[in-house]
Chain A
Amino acid sequence: MKKENRIEVSGLQKSFAGKEVLRGVDLEIPVGTSLVIIGGSGSGKSVLLKHILGLLRADAGSIKIDGEEISKFSRRQRKHVDQRIGMLFQNGALFDSMPVWKNVAFAQIQANNLSAEEARQIAKDSLAMVELGEDILDLFPAALSGGTHKRIGLARAISYRPDIIFFDEPTTGLDPIMTDVINHLIVQCVKELGATTMTITHDMSSVRAIADKTALLYKGQIIWHGDRDELETADNPYLRQFMLGLPEGPIEVEGAVA
């Protein structure tokens, strides 16, 4: 039986200073599915994500969550949507001025005016989900490594049990071991929460670990999509070039000398 779509994007277009970045993006993410969007630098992945998060306004097109059109919503109008969304930013985007516990429980502190004790408990529980101990609760982000930033960012993203989670290049800048740890934590957390997720990355190890479905974005358009199993067998030349990391092929390499 076909699952209902949690997220639907259709005909999404966006230009910056006359340059088309998104040229009619269409995608669907069924409930409980993990979609990974791959593509090179400058292909429009982050711009697409920012539109779904409501951080950018589209020139044209539609974004629906559970059938509700949200692309024209103001911040206040989409508050009920935001409360269902968790987001792990590329470098964690932890608040420098706050200790770890405040970072992790930030959304609940703002929404429910929690006491410090209640907020610390929420932070402890969320940190446990990403296999971090309570010894870091009072540390500030500046004292922590990049990998720990990502884990705390993940703890913050899942702390209010969202049913939609976005991951923006979750393993960029990490060593192979930490990459594996983060991929494992993402899979584990998503499974525990039963969330629908969208991940943007160009790390193929993440794709293989996280994805149920995959889409390739190139020059602002989805040019291939399919199940994870189809990745290895698909004969799309763009996908093959991207997966094998070949400099020659239909994908134009930015800054390459002809």
Chain B
Amino acid sequence: MGYIAIIGRFVLEFFAASGRLSLFTWHSTAAVFAPPVYLREIIRQVIFIGYFSLPVVALTSFFTGGVLALQIYYGGNQLNSEAIVSTIVALGITRELGPVLGGLMVAGRVSAAIAAEIGTMRVTEQIDALTTLSTDPFKYLVAPRLISATLCMPVLAFFADIIGVMGGFVVGTQSLDFNSAIYVQRTVNFLELDDITSGLIKAAVFGFIIALMGCYHGYNSRGGAQGVGRATTNAVVTASILILMANYIMTSLFFTA
């Protein structure tokens, strides 16, 4: 009987949490499309989410491209197919690793920061103060972050694509002795526009997830500093898991007939 009660409690809590998240997503999305638009807040968030995330995304992408080139080369070497290095690096980076690793890095940085900021505002009654000052927290706090993250992530992913391919190029030509002209030609020949756009669409979805999880956990944080810490951790964990799940679903949709 004890086990059934535990399972029952778990199931109830799961559905309650899903309901809360669904309602929050609905309110947040509605706030994005409803006036007023807080342009100054959006610009502030674009600078924080987009501009300041660029170095971490660029570094991650560069080294991922380099490692990818090395691994494909050593694997391909055993089958005498080293020539595919440039093609696989380009496809791997643009379709998957650029947006996914970029998304995970930004989730670590931005979801945590959003959850901490909004969580602190919650526990210090700043969100209540906003409400009593006739300002909707969903429009003032949540919508600008959702808009900025959804717009910035494709741009970051685009840079991640370029820098990741460059990482592969540097390792390929400097360490693995590929001819640079042939490397570039094989990259360009096999890369199609769909490979890039699918990655950018994924990145936009990841941006939405990152901001949503940060806002959701921050907005619902309780219990002082400990609660804010918990919200920050939960935001990063749930954003990362949802990014990987969403990536699988979108890959299934984009690349299977």
Binding site for B on A (CB under 8 A): 50, 53-55, 75, 79, 82-83, 85, 87, 89-91, 93-96, 106-107, 110-111, 156
Contact = CB atoms under 8 A, between A and B. Distances in A.
Nearest to A108: B133
Give the size range of B's interface with the partner.
Answer: 10 to 19
B135 A53 contact: no
B29 to A, nearest CB: 17
Nearest to A88: B129
A173 to B, nearest CB: 13
B126 interface: yes
Say what secondary structure dominates the interface of chain B: helix
A85 B120 contact: no
Interface string B73-99: 000000000000000000000000000
Given A91-B125, A95-B126, A53 B133 contact: no
A83 B124 contact: no
A210 to B, nearest CB: 20
Nearest to B38: A110
A82 B135 CA distance: 10
A115 to B, nearest CB: 13
A91 B124 CA distance: 7
B126 A96 contact: yes
B129 A87 contact: yes
A20 B121 CA distance: 27
Nearest to B135: A110
A93 B128 contact: yes
B132 A75 contact: no
Contacts of A94: 126, 129
Nearest to A95: B126
Contact of B133 (A90, A91, A106): A106
B62 to A, nearest CB: 33
Contacts of B136: 75
A90 B136 CA distance: 21
A54 B135 CA distance: 13
A233 B125 CA distance: 37
Interface string B128-140: 1111111110000
